[in-house]
Amino acid sequence: MKPFLFVTDLDHTLVGDKKALEQLNQELENHRKVYGSKIVYATGRSLTLYQELTTEQSLLNPDALITAVGTEIYFDSNYETPDLEWSSKLSVGWNRDLVVEIAAKFEDLVPQQDSEQRPFKVSYLIPEEAAKQILPQLNNLLENENIKFKLIYSGSEDLDILPLDADKGLAVKFLQNRWKYYSQETVVCGDSGNDIALFSVGEERGIIVGNARSELREWYEANKTDYRYFATSFYADGILEGLRFLNFL
Ligand code: GLC
Ligand code: MG
């Protein structure tokens, strides 16, 4: 057994089955102690909503925490300020006020709660049918302004507008560089649209939990390789199944 970099989404991936989570926690904590593996949570939630989740679920203390869909990175339970090197990379070509102004032209885009509006993330709710129509138009308007952005649609309701250089996958690359882990020593786990970046950024070993949402299922079907595993079990059980299949545990 060797150390590996373990990266997982939280909602409906790590979290969803408390008993399975306990077992996975034990095995990961043990691996970290014995082999020095690193544990990273990569969530769409803001730090505020992450901290709320930690009061409801038994989560481990991660070696790094990626929040707000990859736009903020915190190290070693220091939640005062996100990593400044990462934030400064994201500010290039980003104009948050202009993004908000342009998005306000679309009545169907309903702003998410305040805690989820972050310096490098502007988030809305929009149903799937409306999203199909509006996202191409929004994309064009933002492109015309020369903003360096990307749109990420998840779970058939959440729209995130982020700087072009931000997403969960790019945040993982940043950690790999800092800690010196290769793709084949990294395993990423997810269930929905904002996790596609984890699987597509390189050749990281991937686990898609059995309960994954349609957008990720479709992406998986269209991009099959032998280093990604679609588990039959759900949530943390799916992760355990995948870690064994990929020979990390
Ligand atoms: C989380 C965040 C939300 C985001 C969604 C999808 O639910 O709280 O702001 O839109 O993930 O990325
Ligand atoms: Mg999720």
Q: Is the pLDDT of residue 159 over 90?
A: yes
Would you call 243 exposed, middle or buried from its count of C-beta atoms within 10 A (0-12, 13-18, 19+)?
buried
User: Residue 26's pLDDT band (boundaries 50, 70, 90)?
Assistant: very high
Q: How confident is the model at residue 1 (pLDDT cuts 50, 70, 90)?
A: confident
Domain ranges within the chain, ordered by starting residue: 5-82+166-245, 93-163
Question: What mean pLDDT is predicted for residues 207-217?
Answer: 96
8 pLDDT above the threshold of 90: yes
Instruction: Quickly list H helices, the chain.
Output: 18-35, 47-56, 84-90, 96-103, 128-144, 168-179, 196-200, 214-222, 235-245
Q: 93-163, what's its fold?
A: Hypothetical Protein Ta0175; Chain: A, domain 2 (3.90.1070)
Task: Give yes or no for residue 49 CB within 6 A of ligand 1.
Answer: yes
pLDDT in tens, 112-146: 999 999 999 999 999 999 999 999 999 999 999 99
For the stretch 196-210, pLDDT in tens is 999 999 999 999 999
Task: Say what the pLDDT of residue 199 is.
Answer: 98
Q: What is the pLDDT of residues 172-182, one digit of tens each?
A: 999 999 999 99
Any atom of ligand 1 within 6 Å of the Cβ of 194: yes
Distance from residue 178's CA to the centre of ligand 1 (Å): 26
Q: Strand order in 122-125's β-sheet?
A: 110-111, 122-125, 158-163, 149-154
- Separation of CA 146 and ligand 2 centre (Å): 31
Atom of ligand 1 nearest to the CA of 155: 6
Query: What pLDDT is stored for residue 237 in this prediction?
Result: 98
Which ligand is in closest contact with the Cα of 9?
2
- Identify the pLDDT of residue 77: 87
Cβ–ligand 1 contact at 45 (below 6 Å): yes
Q: Quick one: average pLDDT of 236-241?
A: 98
Residue 51 confidence (pLDDT): 98
The reported pTM is 0.98
Query: How far, rounded to the nearest angstrom, does the alpha carbon of residue 237 sit from its chain's CA centroid?
Result: 19
* CATH 3.30.9.10 applies to domain 5-82+166-245: no
pLDDT number for residue 48: 98
Ligand 1 geometric centre to CA of 62 (Å): 20
List, in order, residues 6 or more apart from 45 with CB less than 8 Å away.
Answer: 10, 11, 53, 67, 68, 116
158 touches ligand 1 (CB under 6 Å): yes
Q: Is the CB of 176 under 6 A from ligand 1?
A: no
Q: What is the CA radius of gyration of the chain?
A: 18
Please report the pLDDT score of residue 174 as a whole number: 98
pLDDT 10s digits, 52-99 = 999 999 999 999 999 999 999 999 989 999 999 999 999 999 999 999
**Is 123 near ligand 1, meaning CB less than 6 Å away?**
yes
